[in-house]
Amino acid sequence: MNVISSTRLLFLSLALIGVGAATSFSGEAPAEPADDAASEESATSETPETSESSAETQASDAVEEKPEVKIPDWVFDVKIYGKAYIRYSYDLSRGADDYNEFDLDRIYLRFDWTPEKDVKIHYTMEGGEVRDHDVSGTAVSNNGGGRFDVTSKHFFIEKKNLLLENFSLKFGQIDLPWVPYEETVWGYRVYSKVLADRWGYMTSTDLGLGLNYKFPEKLGELQAVVVNGEGWKKNETGKHKDFHARLTLTPLSSLGEVAGGFFLTAFYSSGQYENVDFDSKKRAVGYIGFRDKESLTIAASYMATVDLSDKMKSPHPSLASNPGVKSEGRGIGALIRLNFGFTGVDVLSNFEIVSRLDTVDPDTDIDDNSVWFGMWGVDYRFSEFAHGILGYEVVDYERNAGKSDEDRIVFAVEVSF
């Protein structure tokens, strides 16, 4: 008997043993044994070809069987959200030579998992252009080759109702108290960053520890963080840490939803650049306004800043003339958003008009170096998941600011999913 025949008989024997074992554990009554004559006849009538074919079939079935893959139950508890900013801009500035571009400014994927009560793990993945952009969002070089980069915008664990109801703690890459809050009031991050972010004074997230407390009866909230200070796009550079705190009060909340839209907000942050003796990085903001998400937002802010001039020379070239010194800046912002739903016409409730004005003086000791930004736009919500804004903007730099004036038309669409 050759090796192949021996192997086939081995497979046949194992298969028959398996069938017998399966029968004995099936819970069914065993079949009545056949008489010896019938058994001998059956054994005699089986040909070698039939035996080999049966063994091959059994072997084939054994090979095709795959282990069952079980997906962990927690995977089905993860909530996934997404958002994207799509833009077209046409540059009308002097010397722009009709430059225009389509761009996908941002894509966000957000994952929330609640493994147990009052504990949440949050991750936000961000995709966007790796090319250098100016403060307006327009690409100024093609060093990135037009590629899109993917990075982490948030990753933190949050414990809610810690010691007190409505008191929470976050640890990881977290939201900073100011920029995400002002973006909520502004409502059009798809069109432009808010004043403090657009002009280089603050960013949206950083690595650190954060506390948040929401006052009873919707009277406001307090948020405070200790973070690296460089922002989420840069590595830590030294031993110093930044402290940020924001207090928002809505004192008329008890009078109803409309009156509850009135708010007062104060913000303060303090940090220090390396190898500098004084507190070289400070921000203070006062904010007052009214916000009704369905109808009207009107708000005004005042910002005071202290910086090391070298650190702010990229968004404000005029500061390069005084390297290594303290620069004190000022910023004022105002915005209005009006929804046409007040007309009572259903179709018009999908339209909003938006306007915003910023002015920033990066160093009050330098004359004529301020920058002014103004935009006017109309927004249309054409779906539950998407809206688009068509706007016109002007950026006016004073004669010592070190940059040329800009004006452009922008069409931006925000898609949520």
pLDDT (0 to 100) of residue 31: 43
Instruction: Provide CB contacts within 8 A for 397, sequence distance 6+.
Output: 371, 372, 403, 404, 405
Strand partners, 270: 243, 282
Structure tokens at 284: 């203070």
CA-CA distances (angstroms) from residue 86 to 111, 128, 177, 411? Answer: 22, 11, 26, 8
**Distance, CA of 392 to CA of 89 (rounded, Å):** 10
pLDDT (0 to 100) of residue 276: 77
CATH 2.40.160.10 correct for 79-416: yes
- 152, 128 Cβ separation under 8 angstroms: no
**Distance, CA of 109 to CA of 121 (rounded, Å):** 14
**Sequence spans of domains, the chain:** 3-26+34-64, 79-416
Phi, psi dihedrals of residue 103, rounded to the nearest 5°: -150, 150
pLDDT (0 to 100) of residue 210: 98
Give per-10-residue mean pLDDT for the chain (417 aa). Answer: 38 37 38 43 45 52 69 88 97 93 94 96 88 50 57 96 95 97 97 96 96 96 94 77 97 88 97 78 97 93 94 90 88 97 88 98 95 98 96 97 96 97
What 3-state class would DSSP assign to 240?
coil
| DSSP assignment of 77-132 | G-EEEEEEEEEEEEE-STT-TT-EEEEEEEEEEEEEEEEETTEEEEEEEEEEE-S-
Instruction: State the pTM of this model.
Output: 0.79
Could you tell me how many residues make up the chain?
417
Phi, psi dihedrals of residue 191, rounded to the nearest 5°: -90, -45
Phi, psi dihedrals of residue 317, rounded to the nearest 5°: -60, -25
Structure tokens at 4: 């192949």
**Distance, CA of 333 to CA of 302 (rounded, Å):** 7
What 3-state class would DSSP assign to 152?
strand
**Distance, CA of 53 to CA of 192 (rounded, Å):** 73
